[in-house]
Amino acid sequence: MNKGTTKRMIVMLVIAGILIAGVIGFQTFKTRMIAKAILGHASPPQTVATAVAKEERWKPTVQAIGNLRASQQASLGAEVGGLVTAIHFKSGAAVRAGQALVELDPAPLRAQLAQLQAQADLAALNLKRDRAQLAIHAISQAVVDTDAATVKQLQAQISAQKALIAQKTITAPFSGRLGLRQVDLGQVLAAGTPVVTLQALDPMDVDFNVPQAQAELVHIGMTATLRSSGAPGRVFAARVIALEPQVDPGTRNIKVRARLSNPGGKLLPGMFADLELSSGAPRDYVTLPNAAIAYNPYGATVFVVEQAGKGPDGKPAFIAKQRFVTPGPTRGDQVAILQGLTAGETVVTAGQLKLRNGTTVLIDNKVKPGDSPNPQVPNS
């Protein structure tokens, strides 16, 4: 190889090295510019509302929504058919147990009763005469026994006839308040036709469901407070009187019934009511507004706000960090945190959907979610 060839190879190698270095430098510059652009367009701080976790003393409670029902209720109807001859009530009236409400025409049955009574009287006279004849051995004992049986048979028929006549009068089986009248004078009723409803409004019953996880907190005899929009501003005291001895396999709830006084009849069957049952000794819980917790299939989480130095303006900068927590009992708008949080920590209560772990946040607490242990629905 001569000197000219060697020089050309060296020149070519130098040029190739310069080209490679240029490509590498360009790629490095490009990467730096992209990174700078990304940093220059980073997400701005997100505005959130916060609340401070606090420790409160709670008495274990069970909250439920129930349906009010009369302690006794019935749809009154005729046991037998007949013509309505008298109506002794008005719609919505209060009645006493045993009070006559509707009378059906009993005339045919009374005529049959008179006939049976006459036959019974004659049978009794025959029995008396035959017993006198038996005393002087004029007739046999069999005749007297037959007479006695005839008397008993007629007396039984008389009792049955009187029962049929009594069925012609519809009476109140218990004291309470009547509903709307569904019968008119002169109407011919068929057996079983509804006439009017009757409901005992004091005391009242309320049926509600309790999750199986809280079943051990509920027992017969425990007290509960009840509120209903049907009687705004009033609080009623109820007492648990019965529990369904099985769990509903569809809802995993237990049905419970409580009873309460209803003076003045302010509460009506069919109304819904909010109940709170207290059980056990008070406990201390770390509490948060329920809005602070995100419930997910993999667990419940909150965003805890922590200070992260100072911002460009010299003011404290804050970031949000996601944390798993174990929620416990609830009370109104509040929820107890069993694990994962300590009292005094600041937690995001609004704006969580915009956050990721480590997002910078701005705190604005002008609008806060509900945090009342006993929220009330405003009157419309």
The vertex-159 CA angle with 104 and 113, nearest 5°, equals 60
Listed in sequence order, the residues at least 6 apart from 130 whose beta carbon sits closer than 8 Å to its beta carbon are 139, 143, 144, 147
**pLDDT over threshold 50, residue 34:** no
**pLDDT over threshold 60, residue 234:** yes
Q: Greater confidence, 287 or 4?
A: 287
Token reading at 192: 């079983």
**Distance, CA of 372 to CA of 361 (rounded, Å):** 26
Domains assigned to the chain? 46-56+283-363 (2.40.420.20), 62-71+200-278 (2.40.30.170), 106-167 (1.10.287)
pLDDT grade for 120, boundaries at 50, 70 and 90: confident
pTM of the model: 0.57
What radius of gyration, in Å, describes the C-alpha atoms of the chain?
43
Listed in sequence order, the residues at least 6 apart from 277 whose beta carbon sits closer than 8 Å to its beta carbon are 61, 62, 63, 64, 217, 218, 222, 223, 224, 240
pLDDT digits (tens, 9 = 90+) for 323-336: 999 888 777 788 88
**pLDDT over threshold 50, residue 257:** yes
pLDDT digits (tens, 9 = 90+) for 140-150: 888 888 888 98
pLDDT digits (tens, 9 = 90+) for 207-227: 999 888 777 788 888 888 888
Q: Are 186 and 87 in contact (CB under 8 A)?
A: no
Q: Are 285 and 58 in contact (CB under 8 A)?
A: yes
Which pLDDT score, from 0 to 100, does residue 189 have? Answer: 85
Listed in sequence order, the residues at least 6 apart from 96 whose beta carbon sits closer than 8 Å to its beta carbon are 172, 175
pLDDT digits (tens, 9 = 90+) for 303-349: 998 887 776 666 778 888 999 998 887 777 888 888 888 888 999 98
pLDDT grade for 11, boundaries at 50, 70 and 90: low
pLDDT digits (tens, 9 = 90+) for 36-62: 444 444 567 888 888 888 888 877 778
Question: Among residues 272, 379, 344, which one has the least CA distance to residue 56?
Answer: 344
Token reading at 13: 């190698």
Question: Among residues 129, 186, 121, which one has the least CA distance to residue 154?
Answer: 121
Q: Quick one: what percent of the chain has pLDDT higher than 70?
A: 85
The vertex-305 CA angle with 333 and 353, nearest 5°, equals 65
**pLDDT over threshold 60, residue 301:** yes
**Cβ-based neighbour number of residue 291 at 10 Å:** 18
Return the minimum-mean-pLDDT range out of 17-21, 105-109, 265-269, 373-377: 373-377
Return the minimum-mean-pLDDT range out of 118-122, 314-318, 369-373: 369-373
Token reading at 88: 């002794």
Listed in sequence order, the residues at least 6 apart from 270 whose beta carbon sits closer than 8 Å to its beta carbon are 67, 68, 69
